Amino acid sequence: MARPKRLPVQGSERAEMPAARVVGPVGDDELVDVTIRVRSASGGLAPRAATAAPMTREELAQQAGASPDDLRVVEDFAHEHGLTVLGASPAERAVRLRGPAGAMQSAFGVLLNRVEHPGGTFRQRTGAVQVPAALAEIVTGVFGLDDRPQARPHFRVAPGAPAAGGVAAPKAAPHAAGGSFTPPQLAQIYDFPKGFNGQGQTIGILELGGGYRKADLDAYAAGLGLQPFQVVAVSVDGGHNAPTGNPNGPDGEVALDIEVAAAVAPRALIAVYFAPNTDRGFLDALSTAVHDSHRKPGVISISWGGPENTWTQQARTAFDQVLQEANAIGVPVFAAAGDDGASDGEPGLHVDFPASSPNAIGCGGTRLTAAKTARTAETVWNDLPQGGATGGGFSVFFPAPAFQKPAIGAKKMRGVPDVAADADPVTGYQVRVDGVNLVIGGTSAVAPLLAGLTALASQKAGHGPGVLLPKLYAAGSPSAAFFDVVQGNNGGFNAAKGWDPCTGLGVPDGSKFAAVGWAPPKVPALALKGGDEVAPQPT
């Protein structure tokens, strides 16, 4: 029997966009950009042990990158169909193409339609992407043919008006129940390492819309008694720093992320990777940050995501592979667990992706009350049904990684979140957006807060944490490195002693968290002749 001329790309099937109306076919001359992901020449990375030394980015490219021959085959295929090769990256295992929609449809065996949706007008494909049989084992994903929004920001503006009196300084008055906080105040309450400012560290932040204004960042820093922050915008797939002027829109997410991370680690470089809100844009932003050999972020913060079931299998797989690459070079990626409770805004129980990847550190949310610099209470954030609540639960796609199994008991699937911190908008973060002082919460605040903690811990230790997440679980649950949140629920699961699907291991105690996560690897004692032993020295 003759082999079919074309084969579907595994996991590329896509359903129609809910609540969308097909207007008609996309014009043949409309330019479309796509990213083709290809296989690793070595077959990919093996899971990293907590004791494994981090690779350099150069070593990662050598051990997990694409074969030049595979890239050439894809480039030849593109040229045969009249497509322009924008670039090929062996390290990222990616070939980026541009061409008219008509040529893209012919090349990948798809139909592209224009659809109208309450959120805008988009290009949609359904079914699977097809490639020639000769490429079927080489190509692992094709992204960009469909440009529907892939993710949503996980922030919530506090009900009511902006923060009274504007942005408070770190020496603000004690907080009663329901009071808001500046990031430095939270750093004090959570006992982040003292005497460090992030000097020499780079924090990567992914953004899929909106932008920041330097005047806002400067005013915010001055209000906290800090020098101007060091922020650089990095364009990915045509995305760029583009503030909308609406503090309740994506600008709120961008400002929250930058200001929280920078206020905690004020001398760190904040590299903000702006990309379009599509599966291609999101994936390329992460891949760019992980493989950025110029700015070299030592930690990455992600405040965007969507329910697992809204992602294609090829997208989940590709994203998880890049997160695994981040682990391999010792770059932890903190990802918000979502703000819609255990449902993640969908019928039934769902977790948010990419937080549900076993290679990401999922960030849940709490409601914090404190007096001066002391916690008085901390419970699960849940303002349902009128407001939001921390995401959390169990993946239906990713098995539980070995390091998590002791903490989650009989459950067989990946549990989310791993860690938590203040996220309730009522006890939220004082920030400045588009010239307005606001209080904002959501699990999207937790990711940059813990990215800032990571920068401080790395500065203190003189090196990065290596493979962080397995170390945190190896410390046990409950662990002295965390405040164990045992009260509250997220609409589907209850808090409990030890790990739970509301706040994970708990809220990091900054200094103890750093001691656990940045400890040198344990090496077995060396047996010597004569039966003597010598204890290994830390490396």
pLDDT digits (tens, 9 = 90+) for 428-461: 999 999 999 999 999 999 999 999 999 999 999 9
For residues 151 and 305, is the Cβ–Cβ distance under 8 A? yes
On the question of pLDDT at 182 being above 70, the answer is yes
- Looking at residue 373, its pLDDT comes to 85
Residue 485 lies in a domain: yes
What is the pLDDT averaged over residues 173-198? 83
Average pLDDT rounded to a whole number, residues 238-250: 95
**276: nearest Cα among 151, 360, 156:** 151
Confidence at residue 174, expressed as pLDDT on a 0 to 100 scale: 33
Q: Taking residues 141-150, report their average pLDDT.
A: 97
Residues 446 and 352 in one domain: yes
Classified as helix, coil or strand, 494 is: strand
Residue 381's domain spans which residues?
A: 152-395+415-455+480-491+505-517
Q: Do residue 99 and residue 207 come from a single domain? A: no
pLDDT grade, residue 178 (50/70/90)? low
Task: Give me the mean pLDDT over the 185-190 stretch.
Answer: 97
Domain boundary among 143, 174, 189: 143
pLDDT at 519 (0 to 100): 87
Q: What is the pLDDT of residue 177?
A: 44
Comparing CA positions, the residue from 142, 146, 143 lying closest to residue 117 is 146
105 neighbors 111 (Cβ within 8 angstroms): yes
The contacts of residue 146 (CB under 8 Å, 6+ apart) are: 14, 112, 122, 123, 124, 125, 278, 279
CA distance 421 to 292: 28
User: Is pLDDT at 372 greater than 90 in this prediction?
Assistant: no
- Cis before residue 406, ω within 30 degrees of 0? no
* pLDDT of 537 strictly over 80: no
* pLDDT at site 146: 97
HSE value, Cβ hemisphere, 13 Å, CA-based, for 491: 26
249 within some domain: yes
Q: Give me the phi and psi of 381, to 5 degrees please.
A: -75, 120
Q: Is the pLDDT of residue 169 over 70?
A: no
Please report whether residue 471 resides in a domain: no
Higher pLDDT, 158 or 3: 158
- Is 302 among the domain residues? yes
- Reduce the DSSP state of residue 533 to 3 states and report it: strand
The β-bridge partners of 335 are 302, 362
Active site residues: 253, 257, 444
Work out the percent of the chain whose per-residue pLDDT is above 90. Answer: 88
Q: 3-class secondary structure for 109-148?
A: CCCCEEEEECCEEEEECCECCEEEHHHCCCEEEEECCCCC
At residue 521, the pLDDT reads 59
Q: Looking at the domain assignment, is residue 339 inside a domain?
A: yes
Per-residue pLDDT at 358 exceeds 90: yes
| Residue 260 belongs to some domain of the structure | yes
Higher pLDDT, 432 or 119: 432
The string of pLDDT tens digits covering residues 503-521 is 999 999 999 999 999 987 5
CA 247 to chain centre: 22
In a domain, 498, yes or no: no
Backbone angles phi, psi at 333, to 5 degrees: -120, 115
- Which residue, 79, 112, 143, sits at the end of a domain? 143
Question: Based on the structure, what is the number of domains in the chain?
Answer: 2
Predicted local confidence at residue 504, as pLDDT: 98
Q: What's the average model confidence in pLDDT over 364-381?
A: 95
Residue 316 and residue 431 in one domain: yes
Q: Looking at the structure, tell me whether residues 137 and 207 fall in a common domain.
A: no
**Is pLDDT above 70 for 212?**
yes
Bridge partners of 8, per DSSP, are: 130
- What pLDDT score does 530 carry? 35
Question: 386 and 237, same structural domain?
Answer: yes
Is the confidence at residue 343, as pLDDT, over 70?
yes
Report yes or no on 95 lying in a domain.
Answer: yes
Q: Is the pLDDT of residue 526 over 70?
A: no
pLDDT for 53 equals 87
Domain stop point among 143, 167, 189: 143
Residues 131 and 170 in one domain: no
539 confidence band (pLDDT: 50, 70, 90): very low
288 and 342 assigned to the same domain: yes
Residues making up the chain, counted from first to last: 539
pLDDT digits (tens, 9 = 90+) for 265-311: 999 999 999 999 999 999 999 999 999 999 999 999 999 999 999 99
Question: Is residue 2 over pLDDT 90?
Answer: no
Once rounded to an integer, what is the mean pLDDT over residues 481-499?
A: 97
In three-state secondary structure terms, 71 is: helix
Claim to verify: residue 339 and residue 200 sit in the same structural domain? yes
**Can you give the pLDDT at residue 167?**
38
**CATH code of 389's domain:** 3.40.50.200
Q: pLDDT band at residue 4, thresholds of 50, 70 and 90?
A: low
- Are residue 389 and residue 317 in the same domain, yes or no? yes
**Alpha helices, DSSP H, located in 89-227:** 101-108, 183-189, 214-223
Contacts of 472 (CB under 8 A, 6+ apart): 418, 419, 479, 481, 505, 513, 516, 517
Residue 61 — very low, low, confident or very high, per pLDDT cuts 50/70/90?
A: very high
Residues 248 and 361 in one domain: yes
Region 87-116: mean pLDDT is 97
- pLDDT score recorded for residue 532: 32
Check if the beta carbon of residue 33 is closer than 8 Å to that of residue 237. yes
- Whether residues 114 and 180 fall in one domain: no
- Whether residues 76 and 214 fall in one domain: no
Specify whether the CB–CB gap between 322 and 336 falls below 8 A: no
